[in-house]
Copies of this chain bind each other. A is one copy, B any other.
Amino acid sequence: MKLSTRGQYATRALVDLAMHRDEAPILLKDIARRQQISQRYLEHLITPLVAAGIIVSTRGPKGGITLVKSPEEIRLDEVIQLLEGAIAPVECINNPGTCIRSRSCATRDVWDELRQTMTDFLRSVTIQDLMERQREKEKSTEVMYYI
């Protein structure tokens, strides 16, 4: 019951992008360094975000990627769905055909309710929320050092 690194990294990349929005476009290299993600790997995670119109990329010197959808409109369920495919705790939720028991299976109904619960939660969190939480965390850390 794990999220792959694709969803995790893409989320971190988007928060990073939101936090440095005033310096856009941002280099993949910088996101990779700050978020400790392999740049080669990150390149592949960016593609679906561009395709979905969440970010745009510009090549060449002074290029990089830029957040175009506003952070409060980017919800985690969308990010996860884009990077990992449909949220579904079991295969038969998306493809009922893969199991002949689908129509009459009570456990399947419960997995579908679990899917709904997870989706509802993820939909309630935006990149804006994550950015604010991160700012808050960093502020606390400063205070900690101060003490």
Contacts and interface: CB of A to CB of B under 8 A. Distances in A.
Interface of A: 1-3, 7-8, 11-12, 15, 36, 76, 80, 84, 87-91, 100-101, 104-107, 109-111, 113-114, 117-118, 121-122, 125, 130-131, 133-134, 136-138, 141
A137 B104 contact: yes
Determine chain A's interface SS by DSSP, over half rule: helix
A141 B103 CA distance: 10
A88 B130 CA distance: 19
A143 B89 CA distance: 30
| Number of copies of this chain that the complex holds | 2
Nearest to A81: B1
20 contacts: A1-B2, A1-B7, A1-B84, A1-B118, A2-B91, A3-B89, A8-B107, A8-B111, A12-B105, A36-B100, A36-B101, A76-B110, A104-B137, A104-B141, A109-B133, A110-B130, A114-B118, A114-B121, A114-B122, A117-B118
A109 B131 CA distance: 12
A76 to B, nearest CB: 7
Given A1-B7, A106-B130, A110-B125, 20 more contacts: A1-B1, A1-B80, A2-B88, A2-B89, A2-B90, A3-B90, A3-B111, A11-B107, A15-B106, A36-B100, A36-B101, A76-B110, A105-B137, A106-B131, A106-B133, A106-B137, A109-B133, A110-B133, A113-B121, A118-B118
